[in-house]
Amino acid sequence: MRILVVEDDELLGDGIRAGLTQAGFAVDWVTDGVLAQGALKGEYYGAVVLDLGLPRLSGMELLRRLRGAGHDVPVLILTARDAVADRVSGLDAGADDYLVKPFDLAELAARLRALARRRHGAATPVLKAGALELDPAAHVVRLKGQPVALSPKEFAVLQELMLNAGRVLSRESLERCLYPWGEEVESNTIEVHIHHLRRKLAPQLIRTIRGVGYLLPRGGAD
């Protein structure tokens, strides 16, 4: 899942990017509100981590503009202010969650997974498709109860397909979900990941819709 981190503090922004990358997210990091606005226009993000005290365009103002334009990306506010009034005004401005500094990286990652899950209408933390289970928190995939070892990218591709089970995802949108800026994507890299997933799980698990993209049936590969 691709995440946009908007944090003007160099040390903290760098830390969040590294930590979330370790947790399996694809992370883009910008340091001010105007850059964040541009990034959100051009890319598809699973969630946004937003600091409020930003240069040029404050986090709160950015949030208002996003929601005003009908943008539904889940936003988690990250701030040093913990007064109830601050939290209320943040949530009322359109934030989906709130985390006060200093925070735990694991908690930040868990909250981001929960936000993504809710966005796709899944209430349970473990994604299921037929006999296939994917636990985003534990980073574990099981087929008929047996764990299957996947590389981080393979895991990410499968997670994206399961979150969007029953929908066709284009190769480009899968690429955008998996690769932040600065990481080179080779032209056939998604095909390679899909190929590996089919080999490790089941050949019929992921359907190819020629000329359009890939699809994981809602009921899994029966």
Partner 1 sequence: MGSLRRRLLLGLLTATILAWSLALFLSYRNARHEIDEVLDGYLAQSTSLLLAQLGHEAGEIDTEHVPLLHKYGRKVAFQLWDRGHTLLLHSANAPDGRLSPVLEGFSDSLAGGERWRVFSAWNDDHTLLVQVGEKAAVREELGREVAAGLLRPMLLALPFMAALIGLAVGRGLVPLARLQRQVEARSPHNLTPIETSAPAEVAPLIRALNALFARVSSLIENERRFTADAAHELRTPLAAIRTQAQVARAATDEEGRRHALDQVLAGCDRAGRLVEQLLTLARLEAGQLRDGGACALRALAAEAIAQVAPFALAQGVELELASGAEATVAGDPDLVRVLMRNLIDNAVRYGGAQGTVRVAVERTGAEAVFSVTDQGPGIPPEQRAWVWERFHRVPGSAGTGSGLGLSIVRRIAELHGARAELEAGEGGRGLTVRVRFPAAPV
Spatial CB neighbours of 143, under 8 Å, sequence gap ≥ 6: 131, 132, 133, 201, 202
Q: Of 106, 137, 138, 192, which lies in the binding site for partner 1, with binding defined by CB under 8 A?
A: 106
**139 near partner 1, rule: CB under 8 A:** no
**103 near partner 1, rule: CB under 8 A:** yes
Q: How far apart are CA 103 and CA 80, in angstroms?
A: 10
Stretch that binds partner 1, among 62-70, 74-82, 134-142, 212-220 (CB under 8 A): 74-82
Give the shortest CB-99-to-partner 1 separation in angstroms.
Answer: 9
Catalogue the long-range contacts made by 101-104 (C-beta closer than 8 Å, 24 or more residues apart): 101/12, 103/78
Q: Of 44, 72, 80, 204, which lies in the binding site for partner 1, with binding defined by CB under 8 A?
A: 80
**15 near partner 1, rule: CB under 8 A:** yes
**137 near partner 1, rule: CB under 8 A:** no
Give the shortest CB-157-to-partner 1 separation in angstroms.
Answer: 21
Phi/psi at 99 (5° precision):
-135, 130
Spatial CB neighbours of 161, under 8 Å, sequence gap ≥ 6: 169, 174, 206, 214, 215, 216
Backbone angle region of 185, left / alpha / beta, with phi > 0 → left and psi within -120 to 50 → alpha: beta
Buried b (16+ CB within 10 A) or exposed e, 110-127: ebbbbbbbeeeebeeeeb
Q: Of 72, 104, 183, 191, which lies in the binding site for partner 1, with binding defined by CB under 8 A?
A: 104
Identity of the residue, 78 or 165, whose beta carbon is nearer to partner 1 in the bound complex: 78
Give the shortest CB-125-to-partner 1 separation in angstroms.
Answer: 21
Cβ count within 10 A of residue 202: 17
Identity of the residue, 138 or 209, whose beta carbon is nearer to partner 1 in the bound complex: 138
Site size with partner 1, rule: CB under 8 A = 25
Residues making contact with partner 1 (CB under 8 A): 8-12, 14-16, 18-19, 22, 31-32, 55-56, 78, 80-81, 100-106
